[in-house]
Structure 1
């Protein structure tokens, strides 16, 4: 009988420990908000071109390799794909477009927001 009391006491202690461990948790700690994405100063040269480079887009879509006939190594070529909707469709993995990067993970929401902001601003060569 004494053995049973110890087991029950240990079980109660473990349950209370688990509950106490969650007492200081709050919604913000459990579900952190994503960091702010600054799209106020998006440029082609400093933002969009850098995103394309960092995500390997230019590895497959330079004039020398031009996978799928898509070239992304100059403002004029990127603008062409932005204007026809293929750039945004591909990076957002929208239905009807080949998701890019091919076989890779989708660009971050922030990078997509920056590319979209550049497109919404008229795809300037800045």
Structure 2
């Protein structure tokens, strides 16, 4: 429902620009919840816009870094957006281009002022957690761009249950998302994924990490 409303915002962006006094859909796009996961997942590959490599002097895993590529209230003038829709399109090959939904979220966030907002967390239900319905969507959103591709970063592959189970059994999955030493903190160069997402994954692990 949130995504559908966000898309409606974007489809009306041009109209909103020319009709400033009209009332817009009040749904707020949140940097931490909606935008940062897209950028961390699609732009922070090795040799790209992570804190270590900063390709082109741009770092896209923090708000301040992202803001350097944004013109608030004008997505058409924002390098962050235009670089994703004009040649040469970012991310570069062999990585996948962002889909319409992700581009729409970024555009809507910029049009709303590119705020450093997190949005209140929703109720977090950790009962009857399953891999397919609950854990996979989280991994896809926050980890998929790096670890669910044909060329997974660091050879860490989450695509199949057997692949994922390796990092369940050695403790690195929960260690990385909870930022526990000595595991590498993930997402790379960014803050932790939302607490509810961590709780859901940890509940799945606690219940035996079943292939369900």
Q: What residue is the counterpart of 1:60 in the other structure?
A: 146
Residue aligning to 2:170: 84
Q: CA deviation at 1:65?
A: 1.4
| Cross-structure match for 2:126 | 39
What TM-score do you get using the length of structure 2 for normalisation? 0.41
The total of aligned residue pairs comes to 93
SS in 1 for 2:132: helix
**Offset from partner CA, 1:93-122 (integer Å, 9 cap, x none):** 111110001112211111111101111111
SS at match of 1:54: helix
Larger radius of gyration: 1
Aligned 8 A contact 2:129 2:203 in 1: yes
Structure 1 moving runs of 4+ over 6 Å: none
Residue 120 in structure 1 maps to residue 211 in structure 2: no
Q: Which runs of 5+ in 1 are unaligned?
A: 1-32
Q: CA RMSD in A?
A: 1.6
The structure whose residues are more often helix, as a share, is 1
Structure 2's unaligned 5+ residue stretches are 1-119
1:109 and 2:199 equivalent?
no
